[in-house]
Chains A and B, each alone.
Chain A
Amino acid sequence: MEAHLKGEKGAIAISARSRQASAKRQEAANYLRRYWTLYLLLLLPLVYLVIFKYVPMLYIQIAFKKYSIVKSVWELPWAANYGFEYFIKAFRNRDFLLALKNTIMLNLLDLAVGFPAPIILALVLNELRFKRFKSFTQTIAYMPHFLSWIIVAGLALQVFAPSTGLANNALRSLGLEPIPFLVKSTNWVGTYVFLGVWKNVGWNTIIFLAAITSINPELYEAAAMDGAGRMRRIWHVTLPGIRSTIVVMLIINLGYILGSEFDRPYALGNAMVNDVSSVIATFIYIFGIRGLQFSLTTAVGLFQAAVGVVFLLASDRLAKKYGERGIV
């Protein structure tokens, strides 16, 4: 009797479950009928993503194998030293070590100069009271961002030309010695950093200006009530108000410390300044695509990407430890 009851209860439970299941199926069918077009839309971007972003990730194995043009990537023999032969070779390669050193040096200088510059400019722009003049300034200041590095290099070569350039003409008219801006290594580094600021300082203010607009205006009123002047308002209201944005941008920039642009050093560089202008990206181009050392340069690229991820996650962790929001 008891067993029978139990059985009955079980049967009811099962039929309830199957009803639930069929209701779920029904729901899923309804859902798909309504939204299948969304999946259809996603199909093309996903195919793109798989082919052009994820398949190349499979080819990273080239870094651990001996590359040969005639074999498919999967058939290549493993490299010596448990596959790490090319990483060892890279760190014994003087050209790579130079490129690594230059990458870090140029990125650190960029960070030191190029990171605070847009914050300061954003603070200045925010103090500008004349609306139309402000948007005019912004329009002009954002413009260099849209010029390619090739164009910027073209401009720089003419502006900084030793004998006919605008900059050296100005120096001469002030009675100063002309400066070889782009042909002497130390000057080249300075010019490289300066041009980076020139091209991007305006553009990079956007994110800070957006953060400033989200500061509660009552804070400014309260500060004014307490008799705070302009500098104190900037220091005690505006800057703290955009702190989390500054931290997020710093994380992203730190994550990029081993990253390297290609166009910028390649377009600005010349034979006289190779000792400072060769970076990882140009190394990969010259020794990989031109020199056909695919395994070595894939290993270098992987090293660069992996360090990038580690730096990004580490600086994110650090930011969170100090109570900031982080990005991941």
Chain B
Amino acid sequence: MITSKTSKIGDAIVVLVCLALIALCLAPMIHIAAKSLSSMDSLIRNQVGLWPKGLNVDAYRLVLDDGKFVRALWWTGLLTVVGTVLSLVVTTMAAYPLTYDKLKGKKVVNALFIITMFFNAGIIPMYVLLKNIAFVNKPVVLVIPYCLSVFNMILMRSFMCDLPVSMRESAEIDGAGPIRVLLRIYLPLSKPVIATLVLFYAVGRWNGFSDALMFMNVPKYYPIQLLLYNLINAIQSVDTATLEGTVSPALSESLKAAAIMFATVPILFVYIPLQKYFIAGATLGAVKE
């Protein structure tokens, strides 16, 4: 048998590695939070590490005073809600029929989905399409073109395939049609995978950047990531364009930190309650089938 002493040392090493990992993951976020809450004075003197110095919320107040930034937060929130609902509906509509073994043409439909995972036409053909159907610079371009992820569809399908068929069959004997079976049996039982997909789709939309950069040129429809990118790179720093002339670079530093916080915290609000649904890992392991 294993001697308990070496095993204890091993356990200690494992715990230390995990603690180091946790610290490494959290340190940058804590650093930003500390900077966003610190006084300009301490930022100039480079005193801020993991704890705010001269606690104040001026940076947050400045960001909230910037109409464009606040508007983008609401707009991205709206896009996220609408996009997530649409994505879930379309994903379910694709995944559920494909759980029927007897469905004729299932193989063809499946192949049509899988092919797009391996081969993709590229950005320019997509851009030409969006131009042709007059989606470019319209709000709809941020919702529809990427509303279905084949990966997520397969995730949902394999979860549903693992549900016992006997339930469906007994419901069918009682005269229930496929839609009824979906609404009454499959969806209620699919809560873990739905929660996982809500997380994936919602975070994906909230984080969406390149589609807006490429297909959306109307500033009032810019999502938060695009604004944040411009702010961080001082391309057209939101209101700091005017501010930066008058105030110190330290303020712009804390302003950027606060802006990052505004973009990050909503993700955590979705992530923390929903993460337990995939933490077991079982659902994601099924994807490789």
Query: Could you list which residues of chain A lie within 8 angstroms of chain B, going by C-beta atoms?
Result: 31, 34-35, 37-39, 41-42, 44-46, 48-49, 51-60, 62, 73, 121, 124-125, 127-130, 133-144, 146-151, 153-159, 163-164, 166, 169, 198, 202, 206-207, 209-211, 213-214, 224, 227, 229-230, 245, 248, 255, 262-263, 266-267, 270, 281, 284-285, 288-289, 294, 297-298, 301-302, 304-305, 308-309, 312, 327
Please list 30 pairs of residues, one from A and one from B, whose beta carbons are closer than 8 Å in the complex, sorted by A's number.
Answer: A45-B91, A49-B148, A52-B126, A54-B116, A59-B125, A60-B121, A127-B11, A133-B18, A137-B22, A140-B26, A143-B271, A146-B267, A147-B207, A151-B260, A151-B263, A154-B232, A155-B31, A157-B232, A159-B28, A164-B48, A198-B25, A206-B281, A211-B285, A245-B288, A255-B118, A263-B209, A281-B123, A298-B122, A301-B122, A304-B122
Contact pick for B96, options A41, A137, A142, A245, CB 8 Å: A41
Instruction: Please state if B15 and A128 are interface contacts (CB–CB under 8 Å).
Output: yes
Given A151-B228, A166-B27, A207-B288, does the pair A56, B129 have CB atoms closer than 8 Å?
A: yes
CB distance from A226 to the nearest CB of B (A): 11
Stretch at the interface among B65-73, B97-105, B163-171, B239-247: B97-105
Contact residues in B for A151 (Cβ distance below 8 Å): 207, 225, 228, 260, 263-264
State the CA gap A293–B214 with chains docked (Å): 14
Given A56-B121, A151-B263, does the pair A158, B100 have CB atoms closer than 8 Å?
A: no
CB distance from A78 to the nearest CB of B (A): 17
State the CA gap A301–B119 with chains docked (Å): 11
State the CA gap A144–B203 with chains docked (Å): 12
B147 within 8 A of A: yes
Interface centre among B90, B125, B285, by most A CB within 10 Å?
B125
B190 within 8 A of A: no
Contact residues in B for A144 (Cβ distance below 8 Å): 25
Contact residues in B for A301 (Cβ distance below 8 Å): 121-125
B10 within 8 A of A: yes
B128 within 8 A of A: yes
**Closest residue to B233 on the A side, CB-wise?**
A270
Interface centre among B133, B214, B257, B287, by most A CB within 10 Å?
B214
Contact residues in B for A153 (Cβ distance below 8 Å): 229, 232
Instruction: Please state if B43 and A164 are interface contacts (CB–CB under 8 Å).
Output: yes
**Closest residue to A287 on the B side, CB-wise?**
B124
Contact residues in B for A209 (Cβ distance below 8 Å): 281
CB distance from B199 to the nearest CB of A (A): 8
Interface centre among B18, B144, B225, by most A CB within 10 Å?
B18
Main secondary structure of the interface of B (DSSP, over half): helix
Instruction: Please state if A42 and B18 are interface contacts (CB–CB under 8 Å).
Output: no
- B166-188 interface mask toward A, CB cutoff 8 Å, 1 = contact, 0 = none? 00000000000111000000000
Contact pick for B122, options A60, A140, A146, CB 8 Å: A60
Contact residues in A for B26 (Cβ distance below 8 Å): 140
Instruction: Please state if A38 and B178 are interface contacts (CB–CB under 8 Å).
Output: yes
Given A46-B109, A155-B32, does the pair A62, B128 have CB atoms closer than 8 Å?
A: yes
Question: Which residues of B82-107 are within 8 A (CB) of A?
Answer: 90-91, 93-94, 96-97, 100, 102-104
State the CA gap A262–B229 with chains docked (Å): 14
Contact residues in B for A294 (Cβ distance below 8 Å): 124, 128
Given A38-B103, A163-B46, does the pair A56, B125 have CB atoms closer than 8 Å?
A: yes
State the CA gap A136–B15 with chains docked (Å): 12
Instruction: Please state if A56 and B229 are interface contacts (CB–CB under 8 Å).
Output: no
**Closest residue to A153 on the B side, CB-wise?**
B232
Contact residues in B for A206 (Cβ distance below 8 Å): 278, 281, 284-285
State the CA gap A148–B178 with chains docked (Å): 38
Contact residues in A for B153 (Cβ distance below 8 Å): 45
Contact residues in B for A149 (Cβ distance below 8 Å): 209
Contact residues in A for B118 (Cβ distance below 8 Å): 255, 308-309, 312
Contact pick for A198, options B24, B210, B232, B284, CB 8 Å: B24
Contact residues in A for B103 (Cβ distance below 8 Å): 35, 38
**Closest residue to B270 on the A side, CB-wise?**
A146
Contact residues in A for B90 (Cβ distance below 8 Å): 44-45, 48
Instruction: Please state if A139 and B275 are interface contacts (CB–CB under 8 Å).
Output: yes
Contact residues in A for B58 (Cβ distance below 8 Å): none
Question: Which residues of B199-239 are within 8 A (CB) of A?
Answer: 199, 203, 206-207, 209-210, 213-214, 225, 228-229, 232-233
Instruction: Please state if A305 and B145 are interface contacts (CB–CB under 8 Å).
Output: no
